[in-house]
Amino acid sequence: MNDETKLIFSTCVSGVITHGILVVTIDNPPVNAASAAMRAGLLAAAQQAGSDASITALVITGAGISADSGLPTYRGVGGLYDNGPTADGVPIEEALSGPMLRARPELTWKYLGEIEQACRGRQPNDGHRILAGWAPAYEQFTVLTQNVDGFHRQAGSADLIEIHGNLHRLHCTFCPYEIEVADYTAFDVPAKGPPACPYCAGLLRPRVVLFGEALPEAEIGRLYAVIEQGVDLVISIGTTSVFPYIAQPVIAAARRGAATAEINPGSSEVSHLVRYRIREGAAAALRQLRELLGDPAFAGRRKALRAG
Ligand SMILES: [Zn+2]
């Protein structure tokens, strides 16, 4: 216990600093409970950036933020598919793989169709919208997402790295044809089989990273540019951070002493590294933070931070 410091933020919010990590506990979460913890994180970021410097931020999101839109938090492609054998007797990692798309495109498309079905009719939630609303007040506000549902773009996040691609962007595997679709209803998968290019009849596929495929070069290049540049604040939201390129920005920021925070009801690969942990769902935590910091676009953000 002698290396622990106990902190009381409010009647319901307390924290313990142990080995340099602040673990925040919220009992019976009231309004502003998460924001009390997040304010501490943002304050630290503001102090580290210098009072007059603009803050640069990287926000990393996973399936947890889309769970608030009603999407299942499955593992797999874009965090949208469960682990385990499919009805077709092959593991989902094989069904949704690059080699399977080439060998049996109808099988891969069947499961791509199921993932799309899970997204259909769903909308971005407060979490996506709040992040998009804050971006203009930062010198840089990059969102790195593993989700393929396109919700961050739909909500208005412009500085966006969709590291696993986007289910709604399709391209021909033979010619330069590309199309963006709202959903897959026109394809009638699996009844009609995999969709074909209207120009060359080649196989269409979504711009998502299937198992066994490389990450898109442009996106990975942008991500590593952000990591090398070194941002003031890194917030991980709703992801277990099992992929190295998702954990690495948090690890790099923690090593540099930059402010790091995590919003996640459970534990992740980076929970032990971040300075501020908020054990809450994404949308609920971000809504409470908005209460504190204001919306849109953080008007008076610095004033709020200075006022503590
Ligand atoms: Zn084509």
For 215-266, how does the pLDDT look when each residue is reduced to its tens digit (9 = 90+)?
Answer: 999 999 999 999 999 998 899 999 999 899 999 999 999 999 888 889 998 8
Torsion of CA 44, 50, 56, 60, to 10 degrees: -10
Rounded (5°) CA angle 133-136-137 = 100
Of 35, 65, 41, the residue nearest 126 (C-alpha): 65
Cα of 107 vs centre of ligand 1, distance in Å, is 20
Q: How far apart are CA 286 and CA 62, in angstroms?
A: 15
Tokens of 213: 């495929």
Quick check: 194 and 173 in contact, CB under 8 A? no
The pLDDT value recorded for residue 232 is 86
Distance between CA 301 and CA 138 in Å, rounded?
A: 10
- In the chain, domain spans: 4-69+122-164+215-307, 77-121+170-208
Strand-pair category, 233-237 with 56-61: parallel
Distances (CA, A) of 89 to 85, 94, 99, 123, 232: 6, 10, 16, 32, 47
Q: Look up tokens 């580290």; give the residue.
A: 48
171 annotated active-site: no
Catalytic residue, chosen from 128, 164, 171, 272, is 164
Among 151, 157, 152, 163, which Cα is nearest to 244's?
A: 163
Does the global pTM surpass 0.85?
no
Q: Could you tell me the CA-to-CA distances from 215 to 43, 97, 109, 147, 205 in Å, in that order?
A: 35, 13, 20, 13, 15
pLDDT the model gives residue 76: 44
pLDDT of residue 8: 52
CATH says 4-69+122-164+215-307 is which class? alpha beta
Residue 205 Cα to ligand 1 midpoint, Å, equals: 11
Query: Which portions of the chain are predicted below pLDDT 50?
Result: 1-2, 10-12, 27-32, 49-53, 75-80, 295-308
Query: Quick one: pLDDT at residue 13?
Result: 52
Distance 175 CA to ligand 1 centre (A): 4
Give the containing element (helix H, strand E) for 30: none
pLDDT at 246: 95
pLDDT score of 304: 43
E strand or H helix that includes residue 232 = none
Top-level class of domain 77-121+170-208:
alpha beta
Nearest CA-CA partner of 205 in 276, 280, 111, 269:
111
pLDDT of residue 21: 53
Gap from CA of 144 to ligand 1 centroid (Å): 30
